Amino acid sequence: MKRLLNVAGGLFSISIFPILSWLILAIILNQPHLSNVFALTYPLQFIWIFLKSAFGTGANIKKIKEKKENAVYSSIVFCLILSFVIFGLVALFVDDYIAFMNLEVNIYRELALYAIANLFLQLMFALIMEKLYFETKKNQPIYTAYFLIYWLLYLLLCPL
């Protein structure tokens, strides 16, 4: 039950903290269009959660079931290469992506690039956190501490 609550808390924070950070930034800077950046990156967050689930959680479960120690490391490397290609292509064609999402390109270009880079960095950290989570019980305090520190920093530094 404790693990289920831990996973549910992690998924909840992945969903709610990006929304809160963009809303807080819009309030602090008094620029309401900043809250639209979350809507701009919303489809990319589905790709993000798929990559994290398939290559983070899936690889860790495979490691436990099949006793393949290197499954996690090779999965993390493959996921980072794949996510770099996916997010890199979106960043490369960011103007078309913003136009497709029916927003103004000149307003949202820099914010979209920042948000895409942020999603990529979050994915790298999430894969490492998944590895720590599925390791032995002695690493659970380390996992919890890293998890809390990361999200506190994310909430504090993202609006900057």
Convert the pLDDT of each residue in 116-145 to its tens digit.
Answer: 888 888 888 888 877 777 776 666 677 677
Least confident of 2-6, 51-55, 94-98, 100-104: 2-6
Cβ distance 44 to 32 under 8 Å?
no
Nearest to 157 by CA among 27, 9, 24, 30: 24
Highest average pLDDT, of 33-47, 89-103, 115-129, comes from 89-103
Print burial letters for 75-84: b (CB count within 10 Å at least 16), e (below 16). bbeebbeebe
Task: Determine the pLDDT at residue 97.
Answer: 93
Length of the chain: 160
Report field, pTM of the whole predicted structure over 0.85 = no
Residue ranges covered by each domain of the chain: 2-27+34-157
| Residue 46: per-residue pLDDT | 86
- Provide the mean pLDDT of the chain: 80
